[in-house]
Amino acid sequence: MANGRSGGEADLVIGEGRALHAHPLRAQVLRELHARPFAPVQAPRRMLHAAFLLDAATAQADRAAVAALCHARGLPTPASSAKYHHVSFGGAELRWESHAEFCTYTWDLPSSGIQPGGLPFQPPAATLASPFGEVPQPGPLLVAVDLHLVPDTAEDFFLDQVFDRSSLARSDVNDGLAEIATDFMPDPSGFVRILVRNRGLGAESAGALVQRLLEIETYRTLALLGLPEAQRLSPEVARIEARLATAATAMTSAKGLVDNNNLLNQLVGLAAELEAGAAGALFRFGASRAYMEIVRLRLATIREVPVTGFPTWQQFLDRRMQPAMRTCFAVEERQEKIARKLSNAADLLRTRVDVELEQQNRDLLTSMNERTRLQLRLQRTVEGLSVAAISYYVVSLFHHLAEGIHESGIDVRTLGIHLDVGLATAIAVPLAVLGVWSVVRRIRRSHGDSD
């Protein structure tokens, strides 16, 4: 910067070799206040102003094109991070500005003013617009303004020949030191004409007024970009709203898990459709709100005073723009309200589904408990039969053993025992049953089972 000032880029020296370390963004924040200075303007002058929409790729190409133009003329080129650049081409001057989604070119051209018996805006803008061909068109053209700054004249008769009387807005501004007039309509060349009569503004004040008027026209046009988006979304929002009402009515008679799941799927699908539209329009509606606020601030700054018989710019824009802005904000609000209703309905259905699932799980557990009890009874029955079967096999083995001893001729009477096969087998039956039952019981207890 001039005068040896660093603009906040270096640390702050406080003497004795000491310094206060600056925040990394301090320089950027300080420069922002001076990023777009007012350029002094002396009447008469002619301003041709255009704004082009950009994306990330075209913004870089636009900056490169401006740098190439300046380099070819031996003029300073914009810095890589610059948002504003001002250069002089002989008698004309170019002011280039880069914004978030658009860029502007303002050509400040000499003018001979209004000739006796003539009209402002002469020669037509189409014959003066050749400087715009110095650089490739950076993107779609959205704003084109032909502003004529002239010394004040008492004549008003030519206004009806230049502007559409039904749309003409006039007002005194800057405490009566200037008058502004426009009909906000494109002329045959496509430029919106703005006439500024200077009644005593200095060059700096005139430059500030000119810039604010150009910003009003630029931002009011950008603000209206939200209207087509709102008109596109309105039928979709109405359709989702109607389907939500149908689903809400169906909820009152829905019964069973299948019906509620189907309704829940419908609501989730509607919420996804609504969110997709809202996400796409989020930036556009937010930008329209911000641009409209800038227009209000600029209109407040110029301090309009009505001219008898004509609306002020504020009155004209309020009457013409507010319905469009209300449409945008109404669609945005409807999206938010429908989203909340969809969320509430979905939460209610999820609660229903959870309750029904819990009921089904409880019934399932009850059924499983009943089957377990039946299986336990069957198991105990089988165990009883197993005791009988095993006891039978044990008694049979004992019986065969006793018969084998008896038929072998072994004399057990020498041991003092009289072996009666039938009696021995009969005695073995209860003993076998008790023994087998005891073993089975111990096995059950070892597995944690009880009687």
Percent of the chain with pLDDT over 90: 36
Residue 3 pLDDT class (50, 70, 90 cuts)? very low
The type of residue at 367 is S
Domain ranges of the chain: 1-34, 38-202, 226-364, 376-446
d(CA 104, CA 85): 11
| Predicted local distance difference test score (pLDDT) of residue 57 | 86
Region of residue 387 (phi > 0: left; psi between -120 and 50: alpha; otherwise: beta): alpha
pTM: 0.74
Residue 2 pLDDT class (50, 70, 90 cuts)? very low
* Residues 339-352: tens digit of each pLDDT: 888 888 888 778 77
* Residues 148-202: tens digit of each pLDDT: 999 987 676 678 888 999 999 999 999 999 999 999 999 999 999 999 999 999 9
Q: What is the dihedral sign for C-alpha 52, 58, 62, 65?
A: negative
